[in-house]
Amino acid sequence: MLSPLLPLTEEQREIQRVAREFARSELAPHVAEWDREAKFDRSIVGKLGALGFLGMLIPEAYDGLGLDTATYLLALEEVAAVDASTAVLMSVHNSLPTQMLLQFGDDAQRERWLKPMARGELLGAFALSEPEAGSDAASLQCQAVRDGDDWVLNGTKSWISHGAHADVILVMARTDRPGARHGSKGITAFVVTPDLAGLKVGKKENKLGLRGSETVQLVFDDLRVPPANVLGEVGRGFIYAMQSLDNGRLGIASQAVGIARAALDASVAYADDRRQFQQPIKSFQAIQFKLADMAVRVNAARALLHASAAMKDRGEPITAYGSMSKLLASETAMWVTTQAVQVFGGYGYVKEYPVERYFRDAKVTEIYEGTSEIQRIVIARELYEGR
Ligand code: CAA
């Protein structure tokens, strides 16, 4: 057993323990069923809220826990190691809609939405992607047109995690005219709530993994949004979304580390139990080398992630390091879970053991909140910054 690489404070140890206990008691007994039935259990939101886990990065003045990023990521890793679906809900809520309201919202918006979101009474979602705008997020087409003081939204948003259950949805829409497009500068962020007429839930996706997290399309059909729901400045919505994704990518990296760690732990235990050729398979170097390489990658991914989190908490820019963390952690998760299936052999390919779920859950971490290819573009651009 390796000792943990990160020096943790007493508070961090305690929050890690609470998260681990929550994951074991509230998630572990149900996770296989949620995966099999593609079932999202809304009661988990209240339970996360009661622990303060939906306001981890929000200052106490806004009813959050006011924790640093590292502590939040430690809790997220514990949840992800048991249920990656609950982890993505935690990550999206903590990193995207709440951070957008905190950083770019006005006092009234923080009072009305951020505080109850931090207490876990309202669930937040983030709506940027569209059927024809994924990696090229600035090409989104959802249109907002001014009508008196209001804005009227039409369009479709895709891949919205827990979108059908969200109470506060941060929506990026075009506010430039169809004849005069201004690219990323023609996009504004709006707060959309389910009580507004014209919001419909569209297709529910039938996914390979992360099946306990419900992913839907949201359709806006003449959805009328009052001026109080415009976030920050008109035309700044793309920048707000990108800045929030810098945080979001740390969350997804932690989710990926959690999945990879679970696959490593399961493999270590299995290689001890499983006997072939009259000995436990852990005595074969072919298996030892796999386990060693898996452990190296999990620890490297976590170390880069926590170094990036510390940079963020020092107020330094983390666009490149956030992308590096997400890239390394997600590719680690995919590689480690693939090795885990191999260590388990035939038993890794069936639902009797959880490693096939880890393998399926890992894949999306290489795709959402920016594909691995987009992370490489972001990193490469930063290498030339200021030259
Ligand atoms: N922070 C602040 N500003 C940023 C920024 C950042 N991280 N990234 C870009 N910007 C700014 C730029 O400085 C630029 O501003 P100016 O015009 O004032 O100079 C503006 O935004 C436009 O930037 P780019 O020219 O770089 O824009 P681009 O069109 O080339 O796109 C991209 C850049 C990195 C490819 C971006 O489109 C991107 O990240 N794509 C991936 C989209 C993504 O991650 N989607 C995730 C969906 S959400 C999700 O998955 C949630 C879920 O449910 C799990």
Tens digits of residue pLDDT in 93-148 = 999 999 999 999 999 999 999 999 999 999 999 999 999 999 999 999 999 999 99
- Average pLDDT, rounded, for the chain: 97
User: In this predicted model, what pLDDT tens digit does every residue of 310-359 receive, in sequence order?
Assistant: 999 999 999 999 999 999 999 999 999 999 999 999 999 999 999 999 99
Question: Is the CB–ligand 1 distance for residue 378 below 6 Å?
Answer: yes
- Specify the pTM: 0.97
pLDDT above 70 (res 306): yes
Q: Give pLDDT, residue 284.
A: 98
pLDDT above 70 (res 166): yes
The answer to whether the CB of 140 falls within 8 A of the CB of 112 is: no
| Ramachandran angles phi, psi of 181, nearest 5° | -75, 140
User: In this predicted model, what pLDDT tens digit does every residue of 63-96 receive, in sequence order?
Assistant: 999 999 999 999 999 999 999 999 999 999 999 9
Which protein residue has the closest C-alpha to ligand 1 atom 44?
370
Which protein residue has the closest C-alpha to ligand 1 atom 13?
239
Band (pLDDT 50/70/90 cuts) for residue 1 is: low
Contacts of 234 (CB under 8 A, 6+ apart): 175, 188
Q: Give pLDDT, residue 179.
A: 80
Band (pLDDT 50/70/90 cuts) for residue 6 is: confident
Question: Is the CB–ligand 1 distance for residue 137 below 6 Å?
Answer: yes
Q: Give pLDDT, residue 386.
A: 76
Task: Give the Å distance between the CA of 191 and the centre of ligand 1.
Answer: 19
Question: Is the CB–ligand 1 distance for residue 342 below 6 Å?
Answer: no
The answer to whether the CB of 254 falls within 8 A of the CB of 247 is: no
Question: Is the CB–ligand 1 distance for residue 331 below 6 Å?
Answer: no
Are β-strands 168-174 and 124-127 bridged in parallel, bridged antiparallel, or unpaired?
Answer: parallel
Q: Using CA atoms, how far apart are residues 250 and 7, in angstroms rounded to an integer?
A: 19
